[in-house]
Amino acid sequence: MASEIAAKISPGHGPGLRVPVHLGVIMDGNGRWAKARGKRRTEGHVQGVQSLRNTVEYCIRYGVQYLTVFSFSSENWTRPPEEVSFIFNLLRRFVASDLHRLMRNNVKIRIVGSRAGLEPPLIRLIDDVEAKTRTNTGLVLVVAFNYGGRAEIAEAARRLAEDAVAGRIDPSSITEASLGRALYTSDIPDPDLIIRTSGEQRLSNFLLWQSAYAELVFVPENWPDFDESSFLRVLEAYSLRERRYGGLGATGS
Ligand code: FPP
């Protein structure tokens, strides 16, 4: 099944399967995956990291250029402290165990989100991993960590307001483009496709500004069960969508 669909792949906009330049993923359902197997929620997160590794490989294999994953939202702080610290440790362990392989695969890592509330050693780790991979030219893996879309927009607005008060910019010069440049993702194109696993159908504060014209695909499987067939089915669904950006599209009707 996977290979049948893969045979139809054609990066860009040619006939066959279209591949998004930028794919966003809301990795949901780790807890439910674990519960269904009588395991602890944290085991679901461990499996979730394996799914992330696999998805990085699919993106490289099929030509996705940017992959943004929602790995810890600003709202996730309301979870039990043990689970919060487990997810923080997963980030540290992921960097320790996978940085070599990511370097070998020419992957550039960006970690976006608020640095406020993060411990200094974690901030140093994030800065270090970004610096080490900065000149890589392959897949850009964007990890949204301690990230919230509204907070990101508010932070950008605050920065522009400070610039205006200090006389560095004229308020009337603020545009969608200049606000976009004040976001964490200023150097990353908007996502073409956002997927969410586990059957939930909402954005939950993920890439709110950037997702204005993204196609959304929701899949029933929990994130740890998301495999290459799931990935290719999502690309098939995306390929059938007509992106109109508010215009009339190819048929004009
Ligand atoms: C959603 O499942 C998942 C999360 C909130 C955490 C996702 C984290 C990872 C996959 C690993 C993090 C990876 C790095 C690199 C840090 P859920 O717990 O909300 O599942 P549920 O809705 O079934 O409870």
pLDDT at residue 253 in the model: 53
Cα separation, 116 vs 19, in Å, equals 35
pLDDT at residue 246 in the model: 78
Please indicate whether residue 28 is annotated as part of the active site. Answer: yes
Global pTM reads: 0.92
CA 32, 236, 104, 206 torsion: positive or negative?
negative
Nearest CA owner, ligand 1 atom 10: 48
pLDDT at residue 12 in the model: 47
Residue-by-residue pLDDT tens, the chain, 253 positions? 555 565 566 554 445 799 999 999 999 999 999 999 999 999 999 999 999 999 999 999 999 999 999 999 999 999 999 999 999 999 999 999 999 999 999 999 999 999 998 999 999 999 999 999 999 999 999 999 999 999 999 999 999 999 999 999 999 999 999 999 999 999 999 999 999 999 999 999 999 999 999 999 999 999 999 999 999 999 999 999 987 777 777 666 5
User: Which two structure tokens, joined as six digits, stand for 239?
Assistant: 């390929």
Note whether 230 and 219 are within 8 A (CB). Answer: yes
Cα separation, 41 vs 29, in Å, equals 10
User: What CATH number should be reported for the domain whose range is 2-148+189-237?
Assistant: 3.40.1180.10
Ligand 1 centroid – CA 190 distance (Å)? 23
pLDDT at residue 1 in the model: 52
Closest ligand 1 atom to the C-alpha of 145? 16
* Domain spans of the chain, in order of start: 2-148+189-237
Ligand 1 centroid – CA 224 distance (Å)? 9
